[in-house]
Amino acid sequence: MAEIIYPRIWTLPTRLIGRSVEEHDSIDSTNSRALELAQNSANDGQVILAHEQSAGRGQYGRTWSAPSRSSVLLSVLLFPPAALRRPVIFTSWAAVAVGDLIFDLVGLQAKIKWPNDVLLHGKKVCGILIEQRTTGLPDHPLATIVGIGLNVSQSGENFQAANLPEAGSLLSLTGRSLDYSEVAEGLIRRLDDDYQELLEGQYQTLESQWIWRLGLLGRNVEVELADRRVQGRLLDLTFEGLLLEKDGCFERIAPEQVRHVTERTWPT
């Protein structure tokens, strides 16, 4: 069999995302590579996929690492129109796409933990890191990079050894061995399908899937903001805001202000 030379460039018959995929055997970070490509708007929809990262980035400055080909590590570079340039849209889009893909692959419904962790059986199977960069390009002033790490085939022992007891993979949580390339391709196709809906201004399906996968509507929650925590019953949740009620007092909070939302019980 002919040796594959990386990076390998391949293409999917999608509308935008994945028309060009740059697949690396090893790279520092797929998000960093996508940021390098953000100076050219012709790279809209470019996917960077890597079997392994030497400097993978997670949220809050953490690192993100996984053994080679155990995790689908990819970044999508986008130049979204102004209406879509909201973190809540991007985080929910990526998390819902991963949740729907997991259902297709293993028949189980994943939950979203605010803002954008995907949990299966309560364990984190996917992390998402969204980064934005101003480009200076007149027609495409802002590039958005959506980085996704979806754990596919690590063993439970692997997470224990890495001191990650709250993490899991599709294999460790379901016993299902999945083909790495099929998972990667399935994810890219789903991201592309769902992004087209957003470009067409159709947000309702995404919003309702996001609310359902969060599972917080109607629950007693604690909302962590930059400078304080708010408790209350979550009466309403949309892309426009959260509506909390406690002791007859109501508070509306924009999603972008919210760091975490956790279900809580407290004495009434």
The helix-helix angle for 204-214 and 87-106 (nearest 10°) equals: 70
Q: Is 149 a binder of ligand BTN (CB under 6 A)?
A: yes
Residue 3 DSSP class: P
Smallest gap from Cβ 246 to ligand BTN, in A, equals: 30
Q: Which of 134, 133, 147 is nearest to 55 (CA)?
A: 147
Report how far apart, in Å, the C-alpha atoms of 15 and of each of 11, 99, 184, 205 are: 11, 21, 17, 19
- Reported residue count of the chain is 268
Q: Give me the least distance between CB of 239 and ligand BTN, in Å please.
A: 21
> Which one among 62, 229, 252, 260 touches ligand BTN, defined by CB under 6 A?
62
Alpha-carbon distance 167 to 22, whole Å? 27
Does 29 contact ligand BTN by CB under 6 A?
A: yes
> Which range, of 71-79, 132-140, 155-163, 255-263, touches ligand BTN by CB under 6 A?
71-79
Identify the residue whose tokens are 């729907």. Answer: 100
CB 31 within 8 A of CB 129: yes
Stretch binding ligand BTN (CB under 6 A), from 17-25, 36-44, 68-76, 184-192: 68-76
Find the residue with minimal CB distance to ligand BTN: 127
Q: Give the one residue of 112, 128, 143, 184 binding ligand BTN; rule: CB under 6 A.
A: 128
Binding site residues, ligand BTN, CB under 6 A: 29-31, 53, 56-59, 62, 64, 73-75, 117, 127-129, 147-149
